[in-house]
Amino acid sequence: MWTRHPLLALFAPDAESVLVPERDRDRWSRHLADLAAELAAPERLGAREAVASLLTRVLIDGARLAPPRPDARDALVERVFDRIEETFREPISAADVAAALGYTPGHLTTLLRRRTGRPLLEWITERRLTEVRRMLRETDLPLGVIAARTGLRDASYLVRRFRARYGSTPQRWREAQTR
């Protein structure tokens, strides 16, 4: 049932209102501004995928704000997301995250897929590509530097992952952002 999903805790019928802590408001403002920008130009290449990614990020941060409720929060999912957030800039793998949390990669991937609908590697990749899009939009750094700063192997791997996810090259996506 959706009301028990850990990422939707703030939207449960009995959820209480929460305030975003002062230290997190800039990040929330950036998330919402990015989301508004993508929604304002749905015809842009990759806009649909970008919106899905940004909404996922908002849901993750929202789930972290939700007050603890029995059955609503999933400590394992939170630990996985925290570990991904701490390490996505490094060349980590699903095996690295699983080992850090005391699981085998297969078991953790299975648990995460059951609880969130997506496997572990997809979450790692999604977080990296969210950061890639932010860097493409906010900087003029070359792809090789962006790849290195987001835990991706190199520029060509970044391009392949980006194109597979958004149907566009990073350069075309960057150019579309300035129009």
Model pLDDT for residues 92-116, shown as the tens digit of each residue: 999 999 999 999 999 999 988 888 8
How many other C-beta atoms can be found within 10 angstroms of the C-beta atom of residue 117? 10
DSSP state of 12: S
| Backbone phi, psi, residue 171, to 5° | -65, -45
Contact 7, 59 (CB under 8 A): yes
pLDDT in tens, 11-57: 776 667 788 889 989 989 998 999 999 999 888 888 888 888 888 88
Residue 124 tokens, joined: 């790692």
CA geometry: angle 45, 50, 53, nearest 5 deg: 160
In the chain, where the domains are located: 2-177
Determine the length of the chain: 179
Give kind and range of the element (H or E) at residue 149: helix 143-149
The lowest-confidence range among 71-75, 127-131, 159-163 is 71-75
| Backbone phi, psi, residue 155, to 5° | -60, -40
Contact 158, 131 (CB under 8 A): no
* CATH assignment, 2-177: 1.10.10.60
Structure confidence at residue 72 (pLDDT): 47
